[in-house]
Amino acid sequence: MGMTIQPDDLTNTGHRLRLLSYNVQAGISTSRYRHYITQSWRHLFPHKQRFKNLNRIADIVASYDVVGLQEVDAGSLRSGFVNLTEYLAERAGFPFWHDQTNRKISKIARHATGLMSRFEPREVKAYKLPGRIPGRNLLDVRFGQKGDSLHVFVVHLALGARARMEQIAYISDLINSCEHVILMGDMNFKSRSKEMDYLLSHTDMRESVHDLHTYPSWSPKRNIDHILVTDQLDVEKVQVLTGFASDHLPIAMEVRLPESIHLVG
């Protein structure tokens, strides 16, 4: 299911990697704008439907190799003190998972960014992103040997344009310190935006397909979720999946890695 676009420059070298980026809205299913008001209590308190919905999300992500998650909860009142990245990893059969808490609201909520993988990371780091309002981080997960490794960056960028530009400038410097990079997440900016133009002109990242709409999930009109890759990675397919498991749709990509990158499962 979903919309698939095949880029023109397909290759058949190296290891194929199936990627997915998904803002899961802490397991809250939204299918109308009015639900942001009528179901707002679900962002603060536990409810039975959350885990039924998370099980649907686990079914969606189970066929991928590396999954970046935004708006997961790291274990608070609203999630029944369950770490949602860990829950999804166990449910979907991922042997490796990591998360980074970005913002805590007492015991009520622990906003986090997460990554699940079928390959063993060699190193995991978290970077605090700039911005007037704290609570935006970058999760950096490195795979392969240090001499020729793959970095997967997972982000959820700010709502404000000024903060996003600061964050993109910071992330660009990190990208330029690595050889092979995948950047995925809810970036809150569109194709051909100032933020995208800055990122693509200051790094060797590329956006293989433009204007894949992911938000809102019930009537997608904005492309604010992205998976971007450095030039050495060959993109084979990009796809937006369908469904109402969140207020965002997940975006998926298949890439071919250089033969020099060795992933350990």
> What is the tens place of the pLDDT at every residue in 197-254?
999 999 999 999 999 999 999 999 999 999 999 999 999 999 999 987 899 999 999 9
Q: Please give the average per-residue pLDDT across 144-171, as a whole number.
A: 95
Q: What does the pLDDT read at residue 10?
A: 40
In this prediction, what percent of the chain has a pLDDT beyond 90?
A: 75
pLDDT at 5: 46
Q: What is the mean pLDDT of residues 84-95?
A: 98
**Residue 256: what residue type?**
R
Between CA 196 and CA 205 the distance in angstroms is 10
Report in angstroms the alpha-carbon separations of 260 from 142, 150, 181. 15, 10, 14
Residue 50 clears pLDDT 70, i.e. is over it: yes
What is d(CA 201, CA 7) in angstroms, rounded to the nearest whole number?
A: 20
Residue-level pLDDT at 31? 61
Q: Which range (17-31, 159-173, 227-241) has the least confidence?
A: 17-31
Mean pLDDT for 78-87 is 95
Does residue 6 surpass a pLDDT of 70? Answer: no
Reduce the secondary structure of the chain to three states and give it as a string.
CCEEECCCCCCCCCCEEEEEEEECHHHCCCCCCCHHHHCHHHHCCCCCHHHHHHHHHHHHHCCCCEEEEEEEECCCHHHCCCCHHHHHHHHHCCCEEEEEEEEEECCCEEEEEEEEECCCCCEEEEEECCCCCCCCEEEEEEEEECCEEEEEEEEECCCCHHHHHHHHHHHHHHHHCCCEEEEEEECCCCCCCHHHHHHHHHCCEECCCCCCCCECCCCCCECCEEEEEECCCEEEEEEECCCCCCCCCCEEEEEECCCCCCCCC
Per-residue pLDDT at 95: 98
Across 81-102, average pLDDT? 97
Mean pLDDT, residues 134-147 taken together = 91
Q: How many angstroms separate the CA atoms of 124 and 214, rounded?
A: 28
pTM of this prediction? Answer: 0.91
